[in-house]
Structure formats: C-alpha cells, structure tokens
C-alpha cells in the first residue's frame, strides 16, 4: 500500500508542476504578444501630456514653436515625440517605423481615448 501512495503522490505533483509551467508559458506568450503589438507607440500619462503639449504648441505657435518645444523636451530626456506631415516626413528628419506610423494613423482616425496619436492641421 505504501508504494502505491508514493506513486500517486509524485504523479499528482508532477502533473501539477507540468500544468503550472504550461499555464505560465501561455500567459507569458500572451503578454509578450500584447507588448510587442503596442510597443511601436508609447502610452501613459506622461506621453499623453507630451502629445497634448505638442498639439497645443503646433496649433497656437506654429512649426517653429513646436520644433523649439521638441528640442527642449529632447534635452530634458523626455520620450521622443514624432511629428509627421502629410507627405510622411518627420519634423526632424528622423526615421519612423512604418508600422508605428500606420498604427498612429489608425489610432488618430479612431478618435479613441486616451489620444496617444493625433491628427492636427
């Protein structure tokens, strides 16, 4: 009777361990997929503030004021804000990932909250 107990005991714990590893791996892969999908565009309160400040500066001060604001933010070490015109050219000539540009366009046209991407004229 004693050996049968230990066989069931170890089989139970081995099954539990394998199931835990399987579930942990599945959760990790799911989260990694979500992070990779949204990595092209940053989000969060700080990013929203930077985007709002850039949009307001463009609207009220023009391109020169926006360029000065973004240069100052870059010197302070803030997250980079990319400003792309209708021709697809970035304000400072930096390379923009095509998937990030496409995602920003989708988010801006969807008019979703929070507004991480905006269309300004």
More confident residue, 119 or 45: 45
pLDDT in tens, 44-91: 778 888 888 998 998 999 999 999 999 998 888 877 888 888 888 888
pLDDT > 80? residue 94: yes
> What proportion of the chain, given as a percentage, has pLDDT over 70?
84
Question: CB–CB of 63/91 below 8 Å?
Answer: yes
The contacts of residue 114 (CB under 8 Å, 6+ apart) are 43, 48
Q: What are the extents of the domains in the chain?
A: 1-39, 41-110
The contacts of residue 117 (CB under 8 Å, 6+ apart) are 41, 51, 103, 104, 105, 107, 108
Number of H helices, E strands in the chain: 3, 0
Q: Return the pLDDT at 10.
A: 96
Q: How confident is the model at residue 38 (pLDDT cuts 50, 70, 90)?
A: low
Q: Return the pLDDT at 71.
A: 92
Computed over every residue of the chain, the mean pLDDT equals 84
Highest mean pLDDT: which range of 21-25, 35-39, 100-104, 117-121? 21-25
C-alpha torsion 49→52→53→54, nearest 10: 120
Give dist(CA 102, CA 28) in Å, integer: 26
Reference 73, options 84, 59, 83, 86; nearest CA is 83
């Amino acid at each position: 009777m004693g050996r049968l107990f230990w066989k069931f005991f170890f089989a139970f714990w081995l099954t539990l361990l394998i199931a835990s590893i399987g579930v942990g791996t599945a959760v990790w892969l799911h989260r990694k997929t979500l992070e990779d999908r949204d990595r092209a565009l940053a989000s969060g309160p700080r990013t929203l503030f930077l985007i709002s400040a850039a949009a307001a500066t463009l609207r009220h001060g023009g391109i020169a004021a926006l360029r000065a604001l973004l240069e100052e933010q870059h010197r302070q070490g803030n997250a980079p804000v990319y400003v792309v015109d209708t021709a697809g050219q970035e304000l400072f000539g930096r390379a923009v990932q095509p998937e990030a540009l496409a995602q920003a366009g989708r988010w801006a046209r969807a008019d979703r909250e929070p507004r991480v991407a905006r269309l300004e004229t």
